């Protein structure tokens, strides 16, 4: 009886122990072992898990967010809005100023006309005598100095006290000098001007020629 049972077990084992069966089982066990090892290696406390975590963190790290510059965007928007509102206003103002400028600055003006304009402020004030200064120096080379003052009358000796001193080219255009206390070749104009100062500025800006039409300019008012 025992022998028969032994033989049966031997036969059954021999039948199962085929090369294919052994290969299959070995592969299955190895696969299971490998999976267990991998699982163990990837547990949160393992060195491998820590290395993977570091690698994944580095891979997901955002070195530079390519976000739009809202400051630049706002600047562009503001610029467009300001241009849309301001441009028409500025254009209209410039057109008005240019019209005024051209009206004050003809291509050519006579020295007697400049003196007459300066005297107008003093007319009707019951004033008599010399009230303005218009002194034209003798030409030196191709230019000459013109001294003007709308508020005071100065002698030739005191001409340096005049408010406005203009250097005239041979053709009558203004090439240098002072209007008020400004050397207009070195300082920019700021603010509005009035009276003869405004006209002189416009003459310079538009290249107006000052024609010397009289030898003795009238600088007085009143019947005296």
pTM of the model: 0.54
As a three-state string, the secondary structure of 176-190 is EEEECCEECCCCCCC
How much is the mean pLDDT over the chain? Answer: 79
pLDDT, tens digit (0-9, with 9 covering 90-100), for 146-195: 999 999 999 999 999 999 999 999 999 999 899 987 887 776 665 666 88
The whole-number pLDDT of residue 164 equals 94
Helix (H, G, I), strand (E, B) or coil at 52: helix
Residue 25 has pLDDT above 70, yes or no: yes
pLDDT band for position 12 (50/70/90)?
confident
72 and 6 assigned to the same domain: no
Are 33 and 74 within one domain? no
- At residue 40, the pLDDT reads 72
CA 9 → CA 19, 21, 88, 216, distances in Å?
19, 17, 109, 151
**pLDDT value at position 190?**
57
Which residue would you say has higher pLDDT here, 223 or 196? 196
pLDDT of 204 above 70: yes
* Number of folded domains that form the chain: 3
Residue 176: closest CA among 191, 161, 187, 192:
187
Residues 148 and 98 in one domain: no
Q: Which of 78, 104, 130 is the last residue of a domain?
A: 104
Between 76 and 65, where is the model more confident?
76
**One domain for residues 126 and 165:** yes
Q: What pLDDT was estimated at residue 47?
A: 75
Backbone angles phi, psi at 211, to 5 degrees: -95, 130
Q: Does one domain contain both 117 and 210?
A: yes
> Which range of residues forms the domain containing residue 48?
2-60
Mean pLDDT of 74-79: 76
Q: How confident is residue 116, by pLDDT bands cut at 50, 70 and 90?
A: very high
**CA–CA separation, 99 vs 104, rounded Å?**
9
Say yes or no: 188 and 112 in one domain.
yes
């Amino acid at each position: 009886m025992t022998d028969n049972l032994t033989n049966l077990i031997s036969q059954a084992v021999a039948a199962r122990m085929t090369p294919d069966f052994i290969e299959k089982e070995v592969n299955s066990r190895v696969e299971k072992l490998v999976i267990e090892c991998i699982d163990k290696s990837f547990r949160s406390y393992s060195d491998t898990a820590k290395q993977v975590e570091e690698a994944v963190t580095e891979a997901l790290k955002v070195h530079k967010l390519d976000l739009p510059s809202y400051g630049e965007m706002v600047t562009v928007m503001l610029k467009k809005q300001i241009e849309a509102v301001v441009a028409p206003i500025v254009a209209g103002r410039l057109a008005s100023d240019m019209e005024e400028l051209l009206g004050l600055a003809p291509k050519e003006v006579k020295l007697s006309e400049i003196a007459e304009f300066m005297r107008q402020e003093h007319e009707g004030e019951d004033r008599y005598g010399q009230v303005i200064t218009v002194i034209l120096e003798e030409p030196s080379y191709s230019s000459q100095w013109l001294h003007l003052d709308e508020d005071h009358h100065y002698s030739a000796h005191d001409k340096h006290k005049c408010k406005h001193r203009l250097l005239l080219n041979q053709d009558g255009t203004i090439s240098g000098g002072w209007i008020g206390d400004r050397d207009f070749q070195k300082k920019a104009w700021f603010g509005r001007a009035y009276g003869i100062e405004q006209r002189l500025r416009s003459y310079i800006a538009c290249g107006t020629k000052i024609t010397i039409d009289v030898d003795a300019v009238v600088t007085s008012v009143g019947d005296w």
